[in-house]
Amino acid sequence: MVLTGLQRLADGSAGVSLGRARCGLLCHPASVSAELRHAVDVVLAAGADLRCLFGPEHGVCGEAQDMEGVGDGRHALGIAVHSLYGSTVESLRPRHEMLEGLEVVLVDLQDVGSRYYTYVWTMVMTIQACAEAGCRVVVLDRPNPLGGADIEGPGIEPGFTSFVGLLPLPVRHGLTPGEIARLAVAELGLEGGALQVVPLEGWRREQLFDETGLPWVLPSPNMPTPETALVYPGGCLLEGTNISEGRGTTRPFELVGAPWIDGHALADELHRQDLPGVRFRPTSFCPTFHKHVGESCGGVQLHVTDRRAFRPLRTGVALLAATHRLWPDRFRWREQPYEFVHDRPAIDLLAGGEWLRRGVEEERPLGELVGRWAAEEAAFSERRRPHLLYG
């Protein structure tokens, strides 16, 4: 079985001596050991003086929905909890007074392998704040649920960085949180000595999550299974539209639809694209919250038939293009602010530029839309190489 950084801290093999160090801990519900002990309990058992917790989007307890601001509070053990996802962009970064008196901030966050997922950017902003405050950061690494071999998608064009991409990573980056931390420290010019990564033991880059032997705990409310994480790189693009990405159902990002969609027509159109490793089943669903709440939505469910061949981002682009082509009078891009950005469409932030929106509107062929990725994927493969921890 793979050992996470937290597990290695628990069994004493991490090479980290906390002693009575004054610590903060950035964590969420999935910050657990193989025995499902939460990181709070593991850090306390290691003898550290745990002064405070930091909560990313959705909060330390993972109760808040997407883009829902979370306030400060207290843990059940009386430990102060600082929210790093409030109602303003300034709330995303630890303030100086939150770090005052701390010697080390431990980071234990289960990521899902997609650039849009905000936890790694909370980690990066915490590393930045700690570098300025002279506080050490220890990242307890965790596996990438999508594996670490495959890269999919372009980077981010200048002017399109945001909290769904602070660094120009591809959507499917194939990195662990620890590797992203190393890349960020190097590329942002931060003090390298302030960061320590406790690597995984026994993880291979080709491993998907269910091959690690680790328990899956929801890292956020709409990430119930590793299968959700697998489709998320494409399904999350629908957040930039008026199409339901399945929030408010038990299969978010696998169910896609809207009241005006004919699921049979959409499935037929998608099957004509001959997308690898996936089939589309016509269906209907009624979201209990979020888009189209209480309305019957026609659409499709994605059924991944070959996880190695499946290309989630390519599939998500095909979904956008197909729904726009079939229902151009009903399809809409999201116009509301997205992740604290008011002057860029949400789809442009997710895509990392205008290329996807413009290509869909101009009804360019799928091969043309995704054809530009290969060169950028190859360049990123070389760019990430110095920061990899696992062969």
pLDDT digits (tens, 9 = 90+) for 60-92: 999 999 999 999 999 999 999 999 999 999 999
How far is residue 318's CA from residue 315's CA, in Å, rounded to a whole number? 5
CB-CB contact of 285 with 246 (8 Å): yes
Asked if the model's pLDDT at residue 193 lies above 70, the reply is no
Lowest mean pLDDT among 142-156, 184-198, 204-218, 361-375: 184-198
Instruction: Let me know the angle formed at the C-alpha of 76 by 4 and 247, rounded to the nearest 5 degrees.
Output: 65
How much is the average pLDDT of 128-155? 97
For the chain, the structural domain boundaries read 5-217+382-387, 226-353
State the pLDDT at residue 37: 97
b/e per residue, 24-41, with b = 16+ CB within 10 A? Answer: bbbbbbbbbbbeeebbbe
Asked if the model's pLDDT at residue 191 lies above 80, the reply is no
- Which residues 6+ apart lie within 8 Å of 372 measured at CB? 154, 355
CATH class of the domain defined by 5-217+382-387: alpha beta
Sequence letter at residue 91: S
Fold of the domain spanning 226-353? Aspartate Aminotransferase, domain 1 (3.90.1150)
- Which residues 6+ apart lie within 8 Å of 290 measured at CB? 65, 244, 247, 248
CB-CB contact of 13 with 4 (8 Å): no
- Domains 5-217+382-387 and 226-353 belong to one CATH topology: no
What are 231-254's pLDDT values in tens digits?
999 999 999 999 999 999 999 999
How much is the average pLDDT of 42-53? 95
How far is residue 250's CA from residue 285's CA, in Å, rounded to a whole number? 10
CB-CB contact of 110 with 80 (8 Å): no
How much is the average pLDDT of 122-128? 97
State the pLDDT at residue 370: 96
Tell me what percent of the residues of the chain surpass a pLDDT of 70.
99
- The edge-to-edge listing of strands for the beta sheet with 278-285 is 255-258, 297-304, 278-285
177, containing H or E segment:
helix 177-187
How much is the average pLDDT of 259-287? 98
CB-CB contact of 253 with 236 (8 Å): yes
Asked if the model's pLDDT at residue 19 lies above 90, the reply is no
Phi/psi of residue 229, each to 5°? Answer: -60, -35
State the pLDDT at residue 192: 62
User: Percent helix, strand and coil across the chain, each rounded to 5?
Assistant: 30, 15, 50
What are the CA-CA distances from residue 205 to residues 135, 175, 180, 183, 387 (Å)?
31, 9, 15, 17, 14
Write the burial class of residue 123 (CB in 10 Å: 0-12 exposed, 13-18 middle, 19+ buried): buried
- The edge-to-edge listing of strands for the beta sheet with 22-26 is 73-74, 80-83, 49-55, 22-26, 104-107, 136-140, 195-198
Please report which confidence band the pLDDT of residue 14 belongs to, taking 50, 70 and 90 as the band edges. confident
Tell me what percent of the residues of the chain surpass a pLDDT of 90.
95
CB-CB contact of 307 with 277 (8 Å): yes
pTM for the whole structure:
0.97
Q: How many CB atoms lie within 10 A of CB 323?
A: 27
What are 280-319's pLDDT values in tens digits?
999 999 999 999 999 999 999 999 999 999 999 999 999 9
119, containing H or E segment:
helix 119-133
